[in-house]
Amino acid sequence: MKERPSFRSSVGAGRNGLHKQDLEDQYSSDNHSLLPYLYMYRFFSDNIGYVLIEPRTRQLILIDAGDFDTSKKVVSEIEKQQRGARLSYILTTHHHNDHQGANLKWKEERPEV
């Protein structure tokens, strides 16, 4: 059985530009890791946003949306690829504009979130 990755290694993988498929190739889903349900994407020059998928309900959780255009493209693509997936929550880790800047646009676009 493969050794489970640490949080640091999974975040590092995202910073190196790996996407969900790269992570799935690297770690099997039978190790009870959250990695198969985690998407990481870059925005602006030095930020990372995250989308978590709750596997049973298919709810998407967007963390640090930051740039609206980028986060919308990522969420839309995940919703297209993961049938039944729908953005349900937006979380912001702190008040800096590069992390919460897209929140008002998301509220306009999807008031139910």
The CATH code belonging to domain 7-109 is 3.60.15.10
Domain ranges of the chain: 7-109
Which of 2-6, 33-37, 66-70 is least confident?
2-6
pLDDT 10s digits, 46-63: 889 999 999 999 999 999
The answer to whether residue 9 scores a pLDDT higher than 80 is no
Amino acid at 3: E
Q: Structure tokens of 41?
A: 């994407």
56 phi and psi angles, rounded to 5 deg: -80, -45
What does the pLDDT read at residue 8? 34
Q: How far apart are CA 45 and CA 74, in angstroms?
A: 17
Q: How far apart are CA 39 and CA 50, in angstroms?
A: 6
Q: How far apart are CA 100 and CA 13, in angstroms?
A: 23
Per DSSP (E only), the strands in the chain are: 38-43, 47-53, 59-63, 86-91
Average pLDDT over residues 24-29: 44
Residue with tokens 């030095």: 46
Q: What one-character DSSP code corresponds to residue 102?
A: T
**Beta bridge partners of residue 91, listed in sequence order:** 63
**Beta bridge partners of residue 52, listed in sequence order:** 38, 61
pLDDT 10s digits, 64-108: 998 999 999 999 999 999 889 999 999 998 888 887 889 999 999
Report which of residues 70 and 3 the model is more confident about.
Answer: 70
Residue with tokens 């999807």: 110
